[in-house]
Chain A
Amino acid sequence: AQSVTQPDIHITVSEGASLELRCNYSYGATPYLFWYVQSPGQGLQLLLKYFSGDTLVQGIKGFEAEFKRSQSSFNLRKPSVHWSDAAEYFCAVGNNAGNMLTFGGGTRLMVKP
């Protein structure tokens, strides 16, 4: 069965600092990987996705993520965090049938002024 682990429940960074959110997955085949963001009181919005090809993928709002098969990881990064990035971030893996996602437990990001 597929699974996703986000080791960090909470992360606090200063505005302007760099950010890396960790995601490890377990899946028997080539994974389809996603990062979603949930701002307070909102639903989830897709930040970026990896299906195949280049292992460094770019997303919206200046985020990027790198797929590392050897480490079963798909970490999310941003070079300079803005106060508006404070939110909860979810990593997810999709199944081969293309119809189901399994989510990690989420990482809540706080941004200090």
Chain B
Amino acid sequence: DVKVTQSSRYLVKRTGEKVFLECVQDMDHENMFWYRQDPGLGLRLIYFSYDVKMKEKGDIPEGYSVSREKKERFSLILESASTNQTSMYLCASSRAGGQFGIQYFGAGTRLSVL
């Protein structure tokens, strides 16, 4: 089974702090994704990476950056956390080609910014 692991289930940070959310997948997937989940809005894509050191902006990249130094690891960075970034963050991975579009998700990190 594919396993996508997010390093923290819950995080509490203060406004202005730099925040790192880590995600690791164990299936050698090329694609990795960071989503933000808010009630009534579903999942919105923040950033997407299709290879090491490669990234593309999603629908809501403002206030976020990402890093992918190794194929299995994809980090989301909040340079200066703000209260409107309080949310659930979900990481996902998928294989490029074949099994089109099937994304496998981590359990999520619930971030509170005070």
The chain A residues found within 8 Å of chain B, CB to CB, are 4, 6, 9, 32, 34, 36, 41-46, 49, 51, 90, 94-95, 98-101, 103-106
Contacts and interface: CB of A to CB of B under 8 A. Distances in A.
19 contacts: A9-B40, A34-B102, A36-B105, A41-B107, A43-B4, A44-B43, A44-B90, A46-B103, A46-B104, A94-B100, A98-B96, A98-B97, A99-B94, A100-B45, A100-B48, A101-B45, A101-B103, A103-B44, A104-B42
Nearest to B38: A105
A51 B90 CA distance: 24
Q: Is the interface of B mostly helix, strand, loop or mixed?
A: strand
A45 B102 CA distance: 10
B64 interface: no
Interface in B84-113: 90, 92, 94, 96-97, 100-108
Contacts of B94: 99
A105 B38 CA distance: 9
